[in-house]
Structure 1
Amino acid sequence: MKKNAARRRQKRKKKLILGAVAGVLVVGALGTTLYFTVLKDVLGGKSNKIVVTDINGSEVSFEPEELAQQIDVPTFYDGITINGVSVGGKTKEEVKAQFASEMNKPVSEVVDVKFQVGNDLIPMGTDGLTLTSDIDQIIDKAYDYGRSSTLPGDEGLKDRYNTINNLKKNPVDFVSTYTLDTSAVDSLAHQALDPLEKEVVEAYASSFDLENLTFVIEESQEGFKVDVSKAIADTKERLNNSDYVCVVPVSTETIEPKTSAEFLRNYLGLVSTTTSTTSGNENRNTNIRLICESINGLVLQPGEQFDFNKHVGQRTEEKGFKMAHGIFNGDMRDELGGGICQANTMLYQSVTKADLQVDERKNHTIPSTYVDKGTDATVTWESPNFRFTNNTDYPIAIHAWYEDRHVSVEIYGRPLEDGVTIKLVGELVREIPPTGTTYVADSSLPVGQKQTVTSSRTGYDYKSYKVYYDKDGNEIRKEEYFPSHYPMRNAEVRVGVKGPDGTIYKMDPKTGKVDAPADVVNPTAPTNPETTPPSSETTPATTPETTPAETKPEEKPNPTPEGGGEGGGNGGEGGGGEGGGA
């Protein structure tokens, strides 16, 4: 029993000793830890590691310097793409070289505009368009991604790490864009679309069929209008919104012609005709025939002008014109092309009857007998001229011919309204009688001898009228037309003033009396005068005077059937040079 108690005391003693030893060990460990902690604080400062979460969700701690070194790399971060192309791990220089072609890419590889016209697609060119890329700025922006933070210090490093680390799950794509200067779009659109436009073509007369006396009518054609202005505006809007590959609908319009060929064939016809009888002079009739051949079948479109001298040209031997009577400075003489004015007068009258616009007309200086006074029309080279304009909305044609001493001119075109007809009528305003005789001393003639050089001629002033009649022949109205002035002419008599011994005596110019002794004066009757040759178209001179002091106004003559005509070739009436034709 005593042994058991001793054993229990011994066990309690061991436990106490073991407890004391354990306590000493714990205290020692705590002291050691405290020691090293204090030592570390004294030697190196307090620890400041940054704890971050990696892509797998695990926490990782880094020293600030270590973390900064890991994220501040001279290459693009993994997960960054430019225009869909990965650039991670590459330097900025490498990436710029990779995208260098973006800076110099041809406009045609970026811009593809097509105009939709109906079912057709018309490409627009790119010449003149200027394309600018922002790829350099995009590269800089992509490189700077994740390299800065709005947070300070270690928090900023942690924020950047998280941003960069997130790229591995969520890549970021940086897209470059182009800027296009659209100022050239206007011209490019016109180049593409203008060729599609067509002017409407009305049915028109291309010529006149002289065999059938009908117009040769060409068919009408539809017009096609493209709204280019709207196409330009729509294209610029698309391009300004960076829609560089697009189809732009274009508005168009089909324009129907107003006149059909069938209508013209049924509508156009004979409007007016004028005919007169010519003389029997072969040369004169040849000249008239040549004029008819020159104008026969001529078509004038609406608004076109006919100019006689421009169309016929100078009258020359090479063209076949002959010498025939024509007026030169108010006298009749042979001229190249004499007689052509008769054909021109027929044209003037038919043009007037067709109610066309006469622009220039001049009467002869001597009335023609193939038409009434006040209704003739002369031409010479180069003036006076005859010109008229087709002032209608339809073509006109001239049909002119010479046959069997008759010259005729017809006008074909639109009919006058409601069967209306027009006549050209002359009206006498006044007669202008000769005022006397002009005496001219002639030292080559002996005293007492007289020679009539030109006979006297009565002058006239005439009005003319276009008189309109309805289909029943009733006068509707009349319009004053071109006036005509036919100048009078005094007789001219040459008086001899040469005595037998050669003495030249004085003459009174008013009376023609020679101041010579009675035994010198030996009066003789005047020689035959050089009068205006009678013709079928000019008023012949009066009977030659027998007494120069007694000049009487001429009587209205009866024309003879032969002779020439008044002015109108290359020189003709009112001036020198070749020509003629009345």
Structure 2
Amino acid sequence: MSKSTQKKKGRLESLKENKKRNMVIGCISAVIFLGIIINHFNTNHLYNDKIAKHIFIDNIDVSNLTKDEALEVVGNKKQPKSMYLIYENTNHEISPEDINLKYNVKETIEEAYNYTKTDSYFENVKRYFGLKTNDKIIELKASYDEAKLSEKIQAVSKAINVEMVDATVYVSGGIGVTPSKVGKELDIASTKENIIKSIKEKKYGDIDLKVNLKQPKVTTKDAQSVNALLGQYTTKFSTGLSGRVHNIRTAAYKSSNVLLMPGEVYSYNNLTGDRNRSNGYKGAPVIINGGLQDALGGGVCQVSTTLYNSVLSSGMELVSITNHSLASSYAPLGRDAMVNDGGTDFKFKNPYSHPVFVKTTVGNGTVTSSIYGNAGDKPNLDIYVKTFKINGRDAADTYRIYKDSNGKVIKKEYVDRSVYKKPKK
């Protein structure tokens, strides 16, 4: 090989070595440069002490803020406020302190700060660049003491609730009325639901309360329509039998002061109860199987009989009526009402469009039953009893004779037939 050829070859190899060296230097330089860029990115953007750009807490931009700066900004702008529960012209305040209401500000800021600072570098980079196109909104959540909230709602409930009261009628010299009240009851479930909704939505202020109304069955107007005596009857009894007197007073008390609404049925037995000692009854003579025997509750039939006669004269509708097996000493034939525990009851219905009031009083040897109602309902009637015999037994058909204002008969109503046994000798 000539010397010139050897020199050329040497120069080529030298050029190749230089090229390789330059490539290596270039690669190393690129890596160093990339490392500098990555380090700058990590230090100044990814792993700095600030929250990444395009991160919001609710509607507050916390981009490029330190945790302390974000705490000040969010803490100043997001504070829970009082809520006011409104009903009619009153409001009931629930302050944040009442229920320990607070926001998780520190925890939310920590979440915002750590959004691009997870354990995965690639996840952090992905999130960081994802923020360039999609903002990250982190919800600020509230916490409260549910037990204290329930206590507060219960306190508001007590302030609002009103127990429903039916109007009542009383007779003391004249006819009086105790007025009715509309019941009010706070809807606790919907109240709690609306409060929690306000807290979640961070919309504080007035909350209208739902209050359920319970209308009385008997209104003041209903009771005030009872303004006249429709019918009254009095029977007499001997005061010598203490047990019987006691039973008369007991039955009269239990069956009295009853307001009967239109169409409502009065049951004597339901009111007076079974004739036993636990219901307050004593032993006294009772008609059993055509004769007198001593039994609990003797005398209650005199009260039912007295009531029956006031029912007849006041125009009540008879539902159930049974005469005694023996003629009564305290009422005419056809005008007595027997009751017992075996199911024989005295019942009548209010046929009017207004309520009627049943009042029974016991005096010294007398029982008086009075039925009060609306003056416009007072009937003009006579009670007629036709007596006769059936197989030697006393019998009676009872009628009500209705008349107009001029005394002309407009209706004759058959009420009942009573048949009595012959007294045992």
1:204 aligns with 2:168: yes
1:300 aligns with 2:258: yes
Equivalent of 2:228 in 258, 265, 269: 269
Cross-structure match for 1:120: 91
1:367 aligns with 2:345: no
Distance 2:188 2:377 in 1: 45
1:398 aligns with 2:359: yes
Q: Answer whether contact 2:162 2:183 (CA < 8 A) is retained.
A: yes
Equivalent of 1:76 in 9, 24, 47: 47
Helix, strand or coil at the partner of 1:72: helix
Cross-structure match for 2:4: none
One-letter amino acid of the counterpart of residue 400, structure 1: T
Cross-structure match for 1:143: 117
Helix, strand or coil at the partner of 2:370: strand
Cross-structure match for 2:36: 66
Q: Answer whether contact 1:112 1:244 (CA < 8 A) is retained.
A: no
Equivalent of 2:291 in 327, 331, 346: 331
Distance 1:323 1:337 in 2: 7
Give ranges in structure 2 of 5+ residues lacking alignment. Answer: 1-13, 72-78
Q: Answer whether contact 1:419 1:471 (CA < 8 A) is retained.
A: no
Once the two structures are superposed, residues 304-356 of structure 1 have per-residue CA deviations (whole angstroms, 9 ceiling, x without a partner) of 9564596387588xx897866x5332135677876664443122211333344
Distance 1:357 1:267 in 2: 18
Give ranges in structure 1 of 5+ residues lacking alignment. Answer: 1-35, 52-60, 100-108, 151-158, 167-171, 434-457, 490-530, 533-582
One-letter amino acid of the counterpart of residue 141, structure 1: Y
- Residues 237 and 397 (structure 1), Cα distance of their counterparts in 2 relative to 1, 3 Å cut: same
Cross-structure match for 1:477: 411
Cross-structure match for 1:30: none
C-alpha displacement of 1:120: 0.7
Q: Answer whether contact 2:231 2:313 (CA < 8 A) is retained.
A: yes
C-alpha displacement of 1:396: 1.8
Cross-structure match for 1:291: 248
Cross-structure match for 2:140: 177
One-letter amino acid of the counterpart of residue 291, structure 1: I
Distance 1:228 1:476 in 2: 59
Query: What pairs with 1:552-567 in structure 2 (closer than 5 Å)?
Result: none
One-letter amino acid of the counterpart of residue 141, structure 2: Y
Distance 1:68 1:340 in 2: 106
Equivalent of 2:393 in 443, 459, 477: 459
Distance 2:124 2:294 in 1: 112
Query: What pairs with 1:374-453 in structure 2 (closer than 5 Å)?
Result: 374-380=334-340, 382-383=341-342, 386-388=345-347, 391=350, 394=355, 396-402=357-363, 407-415=366-374, 417-427=376-386, 431-433=389-391
Cross-structure match for 2:202: 243
Distance 2:112 2:298 in 1: 92
Would you say how many aligned residue pairs link Structure 1 and Structure 2?
A: 370
One-letter amino acid of the counterpart of residue 329, structure 1: N
Cross-structure match for 2:3: none
One-letter amino acid of the counterpart of residue 248, structure 2: I
Cross-structure match for 2:9: none
Distance 1:180 1:140 in 2: 22
- Residues 248 and 189 (structure 1), Cα distance of their counterparts in 2 relative to 1, 3 Å cut: farther
Cross-structure match for 1:351: 311
Structure with the bigger percentage of helix: 2
Helix, strand or coil at the partner of 2:308: helix
C-alpha displacement of 1:77: 2.1
C-alpha displacement of 1:466: 4.4
Q: Answer whether contact 2:51 2:112 (CA < 8 A) is retained.
A: no
Distance 1:177 1:292 in 2: 73
Query: What pairs with 1:499-514 in structure 2 (closer than 5 Å)?
Result: none
TM-score, normalised to structure 2, is 0.60
Percent identity over the alignment? Answer: 15
C-alpha displacement of 1:250: 3.3
C-alpha displacement of 1:488: 6.3
Distance 1:143 1:37 in 2: 48
Distance 2:295 2:181 in 1: 50
C-alpha displacement of 1:217: 3.0
One-letter amino acid of the counterpart of residue 314, structure 2: A
Cross-structure match for 2:11: none
Q: State the superposition RMSD in angstroms.
A: 5.8
Distance 2:245 2:404 in 1: 33
Cross-structure match for 2:75: none
Helix, strand or coil at the partner of 1:66: helix
Q: Answer whether contact 1:113 1:247 (CA < 8 A) is retained.
A: yes
Distance 1:481 1:50 in 2: 124
Cross-structure match for 1:43: 21
- Residues 180 and 416 (structure 1), Cα distance of their counterparts in 2 relative to 1, 3 Å cut: same
Distance 1:225 1:68 in 2: 67
One-letter amino acid of the counterpart of residue 76, structure 1: Y
Q: Answer whether contact 1:135 1:177 (CA < 8 A) is retained.
A: no
